[in-house]
Amino acid sequence: MGTDNLYPKIYNLSNLILAYRKARKGKTKKKYVIEFEKDLINNLLNLQGELINQTYSPKPLNTFILRDPKTRKISKSAFRDRIIHHVIVKVIGQIFDRTFIYDSCANRKGKGNLFALKRFCEFVRRVTKNNTRIAFCLKADIKHYFQEVNHKTLLKIIKRKIKDNKVILLIKKILKNYELNEKSNLKTKGMPLGNLTSQFFANVYLNELDYFIKHKLKIKYYIRYVDDFVILNYSKLQLKIWKQKINGFLRNKLKLELHPDKSRIIPVPKGINFVGFRIFYYYKLLRRRNIKSIFSRIHKYTKGEIPKEKMLEIFQGWHAYAKWAESYGLRKEVVKEIYSS
């Protein structure tokens, strides 16, 4: 089956069942999952019927503000729509993943923030020749990335690989749902934080930047994690030149720009903030934001806003992450706070 006939895979019942199982993972006690499962077979068959007849329409997004501790606007899709997101990513994901560069680290199997951390440390060793020469890092962030993704440009990129118009129309419906949710005059741009498809499309969109950096500029030491990326080099001047060229490419080709305050060239010995750590040559520290986040959740737990089972799950994930930094004392303190509550 070529990329011009993918739509039957989208409505294939086996794929919808797999997508449903992925969408419910870790959320089996949520009311919306329990409600969907009360009439599971009919709900899945109705979803399949809507896809076959092309009458499927996403429900309005549920938008709320999350302070954890950084303030973010999250827009969540209805559970039935999340099943659609999972099946889309399952069907077209591998087609695009094969085109992604090795050091595109977010939301990919076998990658992630710890993979990005290890690669960064490896690159630091190489560029500093085992800490025997000075080196610099361009630490860059794309301004308001998820709000600014241009739908027309994104669809153009997707259409290079996906020739099935029914799949394209389904993707358009998902993108359009965000516009309707925002009720904004700024049409045809933006993706909601909180959607699986947004995370996937974020990589598809910025794969264009990855290719420009790796193949046009031929930059060796580059790692990207969503809209956050680093470039290492021994020459500060070279990084300044690359920064200008990258910003030009983002503006001209992707309708984006580097964040003026968060995109700086920093000497490596000063420590680089990346994927939740402040990274020095011989050690790593957790970023303050990460520490505030776990204590914020403990506070909610003590107030009864987070159940014990969920808090232990949060702690396990945080602990697996935190142990990569110099954090022994902090981890002991966190354990004490949780179990004394």
Q: What is the DSSP string of 309-331?
A: HHHHHHHHHHHHHHTTSS-HHHH
Nearest-angstrom CA–CA distance, 123 and 105 = 15
CB proximity list for 324: less than 8 A, separation 6 or greater: 114, 117, 277, 284
C-beta of residue 7 within 8 angstroms of C-beta of residue 164: yes
Instruction: State the residue for tokens 């009439």.
Output: 39
Nearest-angstrom CA–CA distance, 172 and 225 = 25
Tell me what pLDDT residue 181 has. 63
Tell me what pLDDT residue 1 has. 47
Which of the 8 DSSP states describes residue 59? Answer: P
Nearest-angstrom CA–CA distance, 308 and 310 = 5
C-beta of residue 92 within 8 angstroms of C-beta of residue 203: no
The pLDDT confidence band at residue 199, using thresholds 50, 70 and 90, is very high
- Tell me the per-residue pLDDT of 124-181, one tens digit each, with 9 for 90 and over: 999 999 999 999 999 999 999 999 999 999 999 999 999 999 999 999 999 998 876 6
Inform me whether the pLDDT recorded for 17 exceeds 50.
yes
In the numeric block, which tokens belong to residue 164? 């099935």
Q: Give the bridge partners for 67, in sequence order.
A: 71
- Tell me the per-residue pLDDT of 247-295, one tens digit each, with 9 for 90 and over: 999 999 999 999 999 999 999 999 999 999 999 999 999 999 899 999 9
Specify the amino acid at residue 200: F
Poorest-pLDDT segment among 166-170, 218-222, 253-257, 304-308: 304-308
Tell me what pLDDT residue 193 has. 87
Tell me what pLDDT residue 187 has. 64
Inform me whether the pLDDT recorded for 71 exceeds 80.
no
- Tell me the per-residue pLDDT of 78-136, one tens digit each, with 9 for 90 and over: 999 999 999 999 999 999 999 999 999 999 999 999 999 999 999 999 999 999 999 99
Burial class (CB in 10 A: 0-12, 13-18, 19+), 77: buried
| pTM score, whole prediction | 0.90
The pLDDT confidence band at residue 339, using thresholds 50, 70 and 90, is confident
